[in-house]
Amino acid sequence: MPKIQITDTRGLEQKVGTGVVIDSSVDSTLNMDVHSVITATSQHSEAGKLSVKIEKGIHHYPIIHTGPADAGSLATGARTLTAVNLSKGHCTVTANATSVAVTMPTKAHIIDLFGGSSNITVGDSIEWSLHNAGTTVNQSLVLTANTGQVVPANIAGKVGANAADASSATVGGSSTGIFKTRVTNVDGSTKTLRLA
């Protein structure tokens, strides 16, 4: 099998092996399409020194993301999230009681979510948000553990109602929580942190 290697010192070479190796800078003036994983770690990665950088120029911050439409409310009342739900990145549930459980997916769903048992890796993480579409004050969503899934305690696991008035004593903050779920075991166990 041919392996293509390009270096600054010797130019283009064909060797035994597979894949393409470029030991040099690469400039693409048009699009770059990668149909699998993009890995962006420095060979010299070390603790306390950031090594992954996406240079977007000085004019703007946001990256345009192409993705699916919002799925709408998944349930009125308790809901167990699925791989498909989390893959959308934004889950909406409508609280209809004081504390409505939104249960993390099963291990099997987590494995599916992260590409199946051949791909799931400890350290793989996603950020996702949970919105409470309920409008009644004091009816919160409560993120709840499933087997193997660790979730935050107390208000870090709660998402308040999307009530009409944000300035009264009983309605404050946002009705959407942002979470990060990180794989801690390839059996589908995770730990979830509240990011905002």
Partner 1 sequence: MPRIKITDTRGLEQTTGTGVSFESNVESTLNANVHNVLTATSQHSEAGKLSVKIDKGIHHYPIIQTGPADAGSLADGNRTLTAVNLSKGHCTVTPDGGDADVQMPTKAHIIDLFGGSDNITVGDSIVWSLHNAGTTVNQDLILTVNTGQTIPANIAKHVGANAADASSATTQGSSTGRFLTRVTNVDGSTDTIRLA
121/48 Cα distance (integer angstroms): 22
Whether the CB-CB separation of 160 and 175 falls below 8 Å is answered with yes
Residue whose tokens read 């703007």: 60
b/e code 173-184 from CB counts within 10 Å (16+ = b)? eebbbebebebb
Structure tokens at 3: 């392996």
Residue number, 54 or 164, with CB nearest to partner 1 = 54
Q: How far is the CB of 23 from partner 1 (least distance, A)?
A: 10
152/140 Cα distance (integer angstroms): 15
3-state secondary structure of 30: coil
Please list the residues that pair with 142 across neighbouring strands: 101, 158
Q: How far is the CB of 137 from partner 1 (least distance, A)?
A: 8
Residue number, 107 or 194, with CB nearest to partner 1 = 194
Residue number, 16 or 65, with CB nearest to partner 1 = 65
Q: How far is the CB of 189 from partner 1 (least distance, A)?
A: 12
Q: How far is the CB of 130 from partner 1 (least distance, A)?
A: 11
The region, left, alpha or beta by phi > 0 then psi within -120 to 50, assigned to residue 188 is: left
Residue number, 16 or 66, with CB nearest to partner 1 = 66
Residue number, 8 or 72, with CB nearest to partner 1 = 8
Residue number, 16 or 32, with CB nearest to partner 1 = 32
Q: How far is the CB of 86 from partner 1 (least distance, A)?
A: 7
Structure tokens at 191: 């730990």
3-state secondary structure of 22: strand
Q: How far is the CB of 147 from partner 1 (least distance, A)?
A: 20
